[in-house]
């Protein structure tokens, strides 16, 4: 694990890293291929599933370049606190292992976050196994 990986587990570090990186990023640095060639609607449709760091990177890049409201609004809806520090950097196995020992409040937070962001069925199912259906 690199120093950057360890730092991302500190609350807010991944998001700040994304914002700084996005401010100096080129189109090739973005996690969406051919970003500048796509419409705002096309990009907004591809934002789900990106980590908080990636969303902040895209947001900073967009603000510096075209500043399209469709994209900035969607990113604003998707950005927020991870269920725990470093969540976006963890594998599905690591998340489900943590969920097996989590509180009902944590499981609900994971379920809400997953539905809004990556919508991974295996993680949502793990929140169900923890007795936290909504």
Q: Is residue 101 part of a domain?
A: yes
Q: What is the pLDDT of residue 22?
A: 58
Domains identified in the chain, total number: 2
Q: What range does the domain containing 23 cover?
A: 3-78
Q: Is residue 134 part of a domain?
A: no
- Among 38, 58, 78, give the residue marking a domain's end: 78
Residues 56 and 21 in one domain: yes
Q: Is residue 120 part of a domain?
A: yes
> Is residue 119 left, alpha or beta, with left meaning phi > 0 and alpha meaning psi from -120 to 50?
left
Q: What is the pLDDT of residue 92?
A: 96
Q: What is the pLDDT of residue 8?
A: 47
CA angle (93, 96, 133) in 5-degree steps: 150
Q: What is the pLDDT of residue 13?
A: 58
Nearest to 56 by CA among 87, 25, 34: 25
Q: Is residue 55 part of a domain?
A: yes
Residues 18 and 72 in one domain: yes
Q: Is residue 73 part of a domain?
A: yes
Q: What is the CB neighbour count within 10 angstroms for residue 83?
A: 20
Residues 46 and 72 in one domain: yes
Residues 16 and 73 in one domain: yes
- Counting as low any pLDDT under 70, the low residues of the chain are 1-23, 131-134
Rounded to two decimals, what is the model's pTM? 0.73
Q: What is the pLDDT of residue 38?
A: 97
Q: Is residue 83 part of a domain?
A: no
Residues 67 and 112 in one domain: no
Residues 45 and 10 in one domain: yes
DSSP string, 93-118: HHHHHHHHT--HHHHHHHHHHHHHTT
CB 132 within 8 A of CB 108: yes
Nearest to 60 by CA among 76, 45, 46: 76
Residues 71 and 99 in one domain: no
Residues 72 and 111 in one domain: no
């Amino acid at each position: 694990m690199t120093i950057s990986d360890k730092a991302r587990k500190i609350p807010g570090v991944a998001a700040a890293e994304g914002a700084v990186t996005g401010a100096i990023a080129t189109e090739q640095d973005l996690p969406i291929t051919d970003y500048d060639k796509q419409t705002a609607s096309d990009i907004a449709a591809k934002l789900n599933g990106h980590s908080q760091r990636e969303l902040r990177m895209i947001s900073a890049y967009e603000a510096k370049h075209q500043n399209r409201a469709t994209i900035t609004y969607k990113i604003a809806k998707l950005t927020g606190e991870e269920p725990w520090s470093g969540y976006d950097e963890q594998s599905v196995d690591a998340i489900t292992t943590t969920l097996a020992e989590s509180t009902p409040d944590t499981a609900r937070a994971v379920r809400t976050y997953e539905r809004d962001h990556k919508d991974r069925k295996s993680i949502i199912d793990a929140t169900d196994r923890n007795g936290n259906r909504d």
